[in-house]
Amino acid sequence: MNRVLASLLMGTMLMGVSSVSVKAQQAITINGVEAERVIIAPPKNDLARSIKSGLSNAYATATKGSRAYQDAQKIYYFYGARSFEPLWLSQNDSGTIVFSDSALKILDIFEQSYLEGLRPADYLTSEISLSGNFTDPERLATLETAFSAAAVRYAQHAMGGRINPRRVSSEFYQTPNRIDGGEFLLNLANSDAPDQMLRELSPTHSQFLALKATLATRYQGEVQKIITVPSGALLKPGMSDERVPVLRERLGLNITEQSTSYDDELVAAVEEFQKNAGLLVDGVIGPATVTALNGVYASKEDLIANMERWRWMPRDLGDFHVFVNIPEYRLRVMSGEEVTHTTRVVVGKRQFMTPVFSDEIEHVVVNPFWNVPASITRAEIGPALTKNPGYLAANNMELISGGRVVNASSVDWSTNSINNFRVRQRPGRNNALGTIKFLFPNAHAIYLHDTPSKSLFSRTQRAYSHGCVRVQNPMDFAGALLANDANMSKSTLQSQFGPSERWNNLSTKVPVHLAYFTLRIEDDGSIRSFGDVYGHNERLKNLLDS
């Protein structure tokens, strides 16, 4: 039984140990000195006495001072505060030990947990069984505490996921929601609808619900039939191709005759599809467009991995927020469920991964300096300076030492290290940050910004930065971002263009989420899949399967 107790206590300690002991302790004052009195209420029936006996045995046989002793003590106090009444067991009129009505409802939730992207085997453990010798007090205590452990485990998995994000990558800086184990157990046991309590712990984000619905169809064996467009040579407007009738059917256009002409009507439909799919809108049927038209068959494992990552997200994204999906290379400004603005972005290279975290946009900086990160200064600028002392001047950069600008050509680089200096790029057309940046101060030095490298936005795969997020249409984004700001607008920012850096503070901070989802369920139920640019999805699938 010690293993079960440890499992339960580990969960409650991670989620709020104090609630376990506080229920069994009472603050008192003796001669002016504050102390705590342990409350152990006497059992009121045979079943409670059996539970007490089993827990007492685990407590008494553990080595004093050991982890097992501390765990046994805490769980003894927990049940002692409630007269050792079981949460999940009861005794019928004939004296047979049975599961309580609450326990039966929870068992049903455990059995159906696969529909939530969870694993029934994590909760329906071998200890949760009514078979065996129930004249043995320790067996009863084991069953009771095993059920409590399973309920806490399910609650935590439903609310915050099965996997710690940091196990996937050190670039995940999310803190999943945690429950208070002791208080939760009591509320669950006292609820008339414990099954509903458990169901309500899962996320309610629209994408999570859409993934969940799609997962259910997978378990039902339903797969949406997709009209498949064959691959072939590039098809441009005005050309003819035998695939045209299939294209028209796929895009919902009438097929009045078996014409193979790629006409204006079909081109317009293809361009609208490319726009909605986040592709380059050129009307050309190439490999990327054919792949998007044919859709994807998302495996159960991919659906579950994306559901897991939604469990790591803040429950409240903000009524008005910015959402950047790294694998999709896309930014959205959201007002409720409405997308008020969307644009392409460039994210970090694989060796400079854009981290996953949430924050709040506080400042908009026009004509920004680019304070070059130390890692870039060390790896790229230092070697360039040793070869060409005029490198900084040629790139509109400054060398800073002690807060003052230093002439790089006057520095003897054979005896000085670039690590002793800072480098920044002055505002200008070729500034790496372009004309504007959007700051949400964070420990990762990550922000959204403009860029002079506009050509990268035309590429399908857009992982080229050192970690920050480059925005394709920064001024349009600024206009959407400031839609609710009474003191600032797109035109206000444009009037500040010039040689000097200008800082602007948002009147209301706007939540921003840098997220990592490889699947997106569209309103019509179709699935869009994005490349696993950093391999996070594959690693998570392996962890979930272990």
- Encode pLDDT of 75-85 as tens digits: 788 888 888 88
> Which residue, 317, 69, 286, is CA-closest to 174?
317
Radius of gyration in angstroms for the set of CA atoms belonging to the chain, rounded to a whole number:
30
d(CA 481, CA 105): 46
In a domain, 220, yes or no: no
What is the domain range of residue 252? 244-294
Q: Are residues 285 and 345 in the same domain?
A: no
Q: Looking at 157, 321, 341, 468, which residue is catalytic?
A: 468
In a domain, 467, yes or no: yes
d(CA 133, CA 66): 29
Q: Looking at 157, 321, 341, 449, which residue is catalytic?
A: 449
Q: Are residues 252 and 378 in the same domain?
A: no
CB 12 within 8 A of CB 183: no
Write out pLDDT tens, residues 507-535.
999 999 999 999 999 888 888 888 899 99
Q: Are residues 321 and 285 in the same domain?
A: no
Task: Establish whether 341 is a catalytic residue.
Answer: no
Q: Are residues 290 and 314 in the same domain?
A: no
Q: Are residues 316 and 444 in the same domain?
A: yes
Q: How far apart are the first and last CA of the chain?
A: 25
Q: What is the band of 56 on the pLDDT scale with cuts at 50, 70, 90?
A: confident
Backbone angles phi, psi at 108, to 5 degrees: -65, -40
Q: Are residues 426 and 481 in the same domain?
A: yes
Written as six digits, the tokens of 251 are 């895009």
Q: Are residues 259 and 371 in the same domain?
A: no
d(CA 194, CA 373): 52
Mean pLDDT of 426-445: 94
Q: Are residues 375 and 281 in the same domain?
A: no
In a domain, 218, yes or no: no
pLDDT at 185: 84
In a domain, 98, yes or no: yes
Mean pLDDT, the chain, integer: 87
pTM greater than the 0.85 cutoff: no
Q: Are residues 450 and 322 in the same domain?
A: yes
CB 266 within 8 A of CB 251: yes
Mean pLDDT of 239-259: 85
Written as six digits, the tokens of 195 are 């099954």
In a domain, 227, yes or no: no
Q: Are residues 68 and 189 in the same domain?
A: yes
Task: Establish whether 449 is a catalytic residue.
Answer: yes
Q: Are residues 367 and 290 in the same domain?
A: no
Write out pLDDT tens, residues 136-182.
778 888 888 889 889 989 999 999 999 999 999 999 999 998 888 77
> Which residue, 6, 7, 14, is CA-closest to 179?
14
In a domain, 303, yes or no: no
Q: Are residues 486 and 400 in the same domain?
A: yes
Structural domains in the chain (count): 3
